[in-house]
Amino acid sequence: MKDRKESPKGRASALVKVMYVISAVFAAVSVYMLIANILYINTYTASYGMTFADMWSEAIQYIISGFILYFAAAVIIFGIGKIISMIQQNCLPSCEAEDEKDDYDDYREKTESSRDEGQERKALKDQPEEEQPEEENETAELEDSETAEDEAENEDDENAEEEPEEKK
């Protein structure tokens, strides 16, 4: 694959320039069609001895339908050119806003967690040594209580097995 040269900020690629030129051509055609349609309506009303007020709804529809397609094409092509230039320059505003928000959320989470850890450490240091819980003793106590429960269950199982034998 060829390495593409990125266009420097502020400069548009050839594709974007072509899109802008095509957009300008469509805009010029839409202005021409607007003027041509208005002149046609004036000629039509003058030749038939009518006024614009007599046929204003048909006249407006004719004028708008004559130039709106060219105008819409100009706007759409210009928008596509603008989007392409933003993509090429890697400066989409929505992406930057989301990245900044994510960075802020990450920073806030880190500061909150470090603040909570600092408060826990401070609380442990403030307690007298006798009151400080020792994790090793707690786990040892839990293991002792679990083994005692297991032994009690095993004895119940053995007693349950012996009872049917005694009945024979």
pLDDT tens, residue by residue, 76-124: 999 999 999 999 888 666 655 555 666 777 777 777 777 767 777 766 6
Number of domains in the chain: 2
Task: Please give the Cα distance from 138 to 96 (Å, whole number).
Answer: 49
46 domain-assigned: yes
Of 44, 66, 90, which one is at a domain's C-terminal end? Answer: 90
Reported as a pLDDT band with limits 50, 70 and 90, residue 168 is very low
What does pLDDT average to over the chain? 76
133 domain-assigned: no
pTM beyond 0.75: the answer is no
99 and 68 housed in the same domain: no
33 and 67 housed in the same domain: yes
**Residue numbers of the domain that contains 106:** 92-124
Could you tell me if residue 166 is left (phi over 0), alpha (psi between -120 and 50 degrees) or otherwise beta?
Answer: alpha
